[in-house]
């Protein structure tokens, strides 16, 4: 298995789904001894090598087989075909509360669980305080209560704390972390980083794609029990998201909700090059125009416009209230509102425009998300990575060459009539030199 911490080869797993009729005695007698069931393949021909010391993510839609694969790795399920090998001590955090005995206290469960995971009594006693400490105050307070009285977050905190104190070479973690609060999730992220620094391997299943992107080195996307894509986490996550958005936007134009007194008809991205240009350049001034139709008069309305990265990351939003802008009352019939963005300081990428209209008490009259895509390409000056375009340049400061002021692209008020795109400015400069 080379340098792999876990090696999965040709693994298939099926479940037998028994049909309803089999539940009755009469049905069983009528059919004789034959039981009727359908075979359902939850995993088909999975090949994976998870490198030692790396963090590996499993992602995919509900029911795609992620938990099943993790359980096979943890040897809780036995594959029907194929083999899984691993190297080193393994600990798994699967379903909430798995491995805990509900009638026993937190303290008793820590001892039981740690022993099952291979810790000696002396080792557990030495680490007990640290285990409870990591699990947090609420757990510490209830450590002598039966865990059946714990909240699901408390369960997960204690379970996770035990798993990491076992100091496993390989840690398997299913979605459960999502149950924890923000503080705990941050604690877990730090712990994953520690584990990685120590050369340990972590396999996580998650729907929190932003988090996955930051801490996973590699990932596999499972689709209907098969690997749709495998490789560097960033790439796998991006193609999963693109695919999901593609499927969703093909099904309908955007995601909409609200009471409907006002309906947002569409958004437009307007630059000096026209309405909804194929691409917008970084630093380019843009107007985002929301077109709506009102069924009735709406006094004292407010509007929100926002932009999300195609990955789901919120890039920016503005609420007329926060901007201290008082829109006129909405009158029955069509209307529109512009947000003026002096310079679109986004790095190249794909983005969605979203917006909503609210009544005076804040109720959502209409909210339309993901109906318009905007593609941003590099502007001038060019920069390498990240989400924001800062318009930076390099310089070497020496006593002979005092610091030059950074030229600020897109600074000051912009008049769309006279605006020259940075792209064109770049051409001008090249011609001059």
Residues at the interface with ligand ATP (CB under 6 A): 15, 42, 60, 62-68, 175
Considering the complex, state which of residue 178 and residue 408 has its C-beta at the smaller distance from Mg ion. Answer: 178
Tokens 């001038």 belong to 380
The residue to which tokens 């990685």 are assigned: 196
Residue 62 contact among ligand ATP, Mg ion, none, beta carbon within 5 to 8 Å by kind? ligand ATP
Question: Residue 13's binding partner, choosing from ligand ATP, Mg ion, none, with beta-carbon cut-off 5 to 8 A by kind?
Answer: none
Nearer residue to Mg ion within complex by CB, 67 or 187:
67
Residue closest to 288 by CA, chosen among 298, 300, 275, 301: 275
- Whether residue 48 contacts residue 201, with contact meaning beta carbons closer than 8 Å, is answered with no
Using CB under 5 A as the binding criterion, the count of chain residues that bind Mg ion stands at: 1
The one of ligand ATP, Mg ion, none whose footprint includes residue 60, by CB under 5 to 8 A per kind, is ligand ATP
Of 199, 173, 200, the residue nearest 188 (C-alpha): 173
| Crossing angle for the helix pair 152-165 and 182-197, to the nearest 10 degrees | 10
Q: Cβ of residue 165: shortest distance to Mg ion, in angstroms?
A: 24
CB closer to ligand ATP out of 40 and 257? 40
Report in angstroms how near the CB of residue 102 gets to ligand ATP at its nearest.
21
d(CA 341, CA 305): 11
- Binds 109: which of ligand ATP, Mg ion, none (CB < 5-8 Å by kind): none
Q: CB of 174: closest distance to Mg ion in angstroms?
A: 6
Give me the least distance between CB of 57 and ligand ATP, in Å please.
Answer: 13
Considering the complex, what minimum distance in angstroms separates the CB of residue 62 from ligand ATP?
3
Number of CB atoms found within 10 A of residue 324's CB: 6
Question: In whole angstroms, how close is the CB of 37 to ligand ATP at the nearest point?
Answer: 10
* Residue 206 binding Mg ion, by CB under 5 A: no
Enumerate the β-bridge partners of residue 41.
Answer: 14
* Closest CB 108 distance from ligand ATP, rounded Å: 28
Q: Which stretch binds Mg ion (CB under 5 A): 59-67, 92-100, 227-235, 413-421?
A: 59-67
Indicate the residue among 6 and 69 with the shorter CB distance to Mg ion. 69
DSSP code, position 12:
E
To ligand ATP, the closest distance from the beta carbon of 160 in angstroms equals 17
Question: How far is 426 from 403, CA to CA, in rounded Å?
Answer: 23
402 exposed, middle or buried (CB, 10 Å; 0-12, 13-18, 19+)? exposed
**Least distance in angstroms from the C-beta of 57 to Mg ion:** 13
Smallest Cα–Cα separation from 175: which of 50, 48, 59, 56?
Answer: 59
Residue closer to ligand ATP by CB (options 142, 206) is 206
As measured in angstroms, the least distance from the Cβ of 212 to ligand ATP is 13
Radius of gyration of the CA atoms of the chain, in A: 28
The Cα–Cα gap between 335 and 197 comes to 56
Nearer to Mg ion, 42 or 124 (CB): 42
Binding mask 342-371 for Mg ion (x = CB under 5 A): ------------------------------
Q: Report the partner that residue 68 touches, choosing among ligand ATP, Mg ion, none (CB closer than 5 to 8 A by kind).
A: ligand ATP
Q: Which residue lies nearer to ligand ATP by CB, 27 or 63?
A: 63
Considering beta carbons, is residue 57 or 391 the nearer one to Mg ion?
A: 57
The C-alpha angle 311, 307, 410, rounded to 5 degrees, equals 115
Q: Which is nearer to ligand ATP, 41 or 419 (CB)?
A: 41
Q: Which is nearer to ligand ATP, 226 or 318 (CB)?
A: 226
Question: Could you give the angle at which helices 121-135 and 152-165 cross, rounded to 10 degrees?
Answer: 140
**Contact status, residue 229 vs residue 220, Cβ threshold 8 Å:** yes
Q: Which does 252 bind (CB under 5 to 8 A by kind): Mg ion, ligand ATP, none?
A: none
The answer to whether 47 touches 9, Cβ cutoff 8 Å, is: yes
Nearest one of 191, 196, 137 to 169, comparing CA atoms: 196
For position 67 contacting Mg ion by CB under 5 A, the verdict is yes
Residue 362, CA atoms < 13 Å, CB-side half-sphere: 3
Pairwise CA distance, residues 204 & 76, whole Å: 16
Gap between the terminal Cα atoms of the chain:
58
Residues in contact with Mg ion by the rule CB under 5 A: 67
């Amino acid at each position: 298995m080379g340098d792999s911490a876990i090696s999965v080869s040709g693994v298939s797993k099926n479940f037998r789904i028994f049909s309803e009729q089999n539940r009755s005695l009469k049905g069983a007698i009528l059919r004789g001894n034959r039981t009727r069931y359908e075979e359902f393949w939850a995993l088909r021909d999975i090949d994976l090598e998870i490198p030692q010391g790396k963090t590996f993510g499993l992602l995919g839609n509900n029911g795609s087989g992620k938990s099943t694969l993790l359980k096979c790795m943890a040897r809780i399920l036995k594959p029907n075909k194929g083999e899984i090998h691993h190297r080193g001590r393994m600990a798994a955090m699967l379903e909430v509360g798995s491995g805990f005995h509900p009638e026993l206290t937190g303290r008793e469960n820590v001892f039981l669980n740690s022993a099952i995971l291979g810790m000696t009594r002396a080792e557990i006693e030495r680490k007990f305080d640290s285990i409870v400490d990591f699990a947090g105050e609420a757990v510490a307070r209830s450590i002598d209560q039966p865990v059946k009285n714990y909240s699901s977050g408390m369960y997960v905190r204690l379970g996770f704390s035990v798993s990491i104190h076992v100091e496993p070479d390989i840690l398997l973690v299913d979605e459960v972390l999502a149950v924890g609060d923000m503080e705990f999730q941050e604690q877990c992220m730090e712990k994953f980083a520690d584990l990685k620094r120590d050369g340990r391997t972590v396999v996580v299943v998650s729907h929190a794609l932003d988090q996955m992107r930051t801490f996973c080195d590699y990932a596999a996307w499972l689709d209907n029990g098969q690997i749709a894509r495998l490789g560097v986490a960033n790439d796998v996550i991006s193609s999963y998201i693109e695919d999901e958005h593609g499927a969703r936007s093909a099904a309908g134009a955007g995601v909409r909700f609200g009471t409907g007194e006002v309906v947002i008809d569409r958004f437009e991205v307007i630059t000096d090059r026209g309405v909804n240009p194929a691409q917008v350049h970084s630093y380019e001034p843009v107007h985002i125009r929301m077109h709506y139709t009102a069924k009735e008069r709406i006094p004292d309305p407010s509007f929100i416009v926002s932009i999300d990265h195609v990955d789901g990351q919120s890039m920016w939003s503005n609420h007329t209230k926060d901007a201290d802008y008082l829109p006129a009352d909405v009158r029955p019939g069509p209307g529109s509102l512009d947000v003026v963005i002096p310079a679109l300081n986004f790095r190249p990428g794909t983005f969605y425009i979203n917006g909503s209209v609210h009544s005076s008490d804040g109720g959502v009259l209409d909210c339309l998300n993901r109906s318009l895509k905007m593609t941003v390409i590099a502007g001038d000056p060019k920069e390498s990575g990240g989400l924001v375009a800062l318009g930076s340049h390099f310089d070497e400061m020496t006593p002979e060459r005092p610091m030059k002021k950074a030229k600020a692209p897109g600074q000051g008020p912009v008049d769309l009539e006279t605006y020259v795109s940075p792209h064109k400015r770049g051409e001008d400069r090249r011609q001059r030199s």
